[in-house]
Amino acid sequence: MSAVDVPARRLARLVLAVVGGRDAVEGLRALLFVTLASTVVTSAFYGYVGVWAVTRLHASSGQIGVMYAVNAVIGSFIGYIGGALSDRLGRGRIVVLCLGAQAVLILCCGFVGARPLVGLGLVVLASTAATAAWAIRNAFVGVLTPSDRRSQAFSSLRVCNNVGSVIGLPMVGLLLLVIDWPLVFVVLAVLGGVSAVVAHAALPSDTSGSGVAHIRGARRLAALRDAPFLVLLVSSLLAFVVYVAFASVLPIIAVSSYHFPAYAWGFLVAINPVLVVACQGTLTRLVHRAQASTRIAAGALLMGLPWLMLVIVHSVAVVAALIVVFVVGEMLWSPATQAAASDFAPEGAQGAYLGAYGSSSSVGYALGPLFCLGIAHATGPGVMWGVVAAISVAAAAAGWWAPRLFAARSRLAGGS
């Protein structure tokens, strides 16, 4: 064994440990690579698109706001549509098409000049392709892994998403030190093209429900009439509102009401991806024997209830401790909810179900800031955190009930 082999093997073991171990990545290596590469592209592009729109497109704040609003509206249903199409036409084909389209649209952004409507239109189209691809990547997990491994598999995908997000933004910052925007978009487009090529070469071209390529009649809309799944969607939507209270509302409240220095939030928000990358795989393995309903409910409560502490005290140290508790809850809730959505899906409808689940996040992101900031403005941050805690309780109750409702229905179907 050469001197180079030893650190390489150690690095490989570290990577396996981070994503959850050898069993967690079995059969998923190509999907994990595609997820990592495409997340680097997506986070880098959308993290800087506002800066590019102002400095290069010379877009107004109103135009940029409309772009984000249109993205939110399209995101609320495009995941479901993309997932349903993948059920019908094959996941491999549709995910390659979406990733390739995103790469081409990003490339075009580098050459639009100072035409804001054209540039922002390209951003909306690229966002549409990326959102559909995200839903389809999640649907692959439901087909490529058995039910007892899905929570760990979704955990591994979540680690890759966080690693990709951590890489993407600094990468663009470094690129802008040496090259201009058009070449930055060329680099992102090439990386996006690589992810599409790998998806085409390594992912199954037709995994639409284990060989069921067409969903006919009522089954195409099965997700919208599935009572346990609809309860799970309600839980997911409410939990995403709680998540947005952390991700989008807390930084505003921290600076404006708690008088934190602006730089402090950069260090506080970094706790989230660091903990997810370091602990997600291990935590998911430790709790995998617990019932899905227990993990979903416990996670939702940990995401929301601790913020009540801010009614009493709101120092930087307290907020940091609360973020740690929140992230533990998030690491319990997210893989368990995604695995439940996959388990609920009938044969041939994984894409539609995971797409509908993904759409609930878009609705939460669209409504959460408006709802929470409206309460904070009208009544103060203390009342807002009380409402956030109450929403987490409702999310926990619905999340606890949904798997049990599904299990009861399955027992009745099995006995009939």
Q: How many domains are contained in the chain?
A: 2
Whole-angstrom CA distances from 299 to 295, 332, 333, 392, 395 are 6, 5, 4, 9, 10
* This prediction's pTM: 0.82
- C-alpha to C-alpha distance for 102 and 130, rounded to whole angstroms: 6
* 232 and 201 inside one domain: no
173 within 8 A of 44, measured Cβ to Cβ: no
Domain that holds residue 200: 23-214
- Specify whether the CB–CB gap between 337 and 232 falls below 8 A: yes
Q: Are 299 and 331 in contact (CB under 8 A)?
A: yes
Can you give the CATH number for the domain in which 368 is found?
A: 1.20.1250.20
- Quick one: 165 and 250 in the same domain? no
Residue 393 lies in a domain: yes
13 part of a folded domain: no
- Pick the last residue of a domain from 214, 244, 267: 214
Two tokens, residue 60: 């107004």
Is 228 in the same domain as 130?
no
Is residue 228 located within the same domain as residue 93?
A: no
User: Going residue by residue through the chain (416 aa), what tens digit of pLDDT does each one get?
Assistant: 554 444 434 434 444 445 555 555 667 888 999 999 999 999 889 888 888 998 889 988 788 878 888 888 888 889 888 888 888 888 888 999 999 999 999 999 999 988 999 999 999 999 999 999 988 888 888 778 888 888 888 988 999 988 998 888 789 888 989 988 999 999 999 999 999 999 999 888 655 544 444 444 445 556 677 899 999 999 999 999 999 999 889 988 998 899 998 778 878 888 998 899 889 988 998 998 899 999 999 999 999 999 999 999 989 999 999 999 999 999 999 999 999 998 998 877 888 888 888 888 888 887 888 889 899 989 999 999 999 999 999 999 999 999 999 998 888 876 65
Q: End of a domain among 214, 240, 259?
A: 214
Pair 95, 135 in one domain? yes
Domain boundary among 214, 230, 259: 214
Domain shared by 38 and 108, yes or no: yes
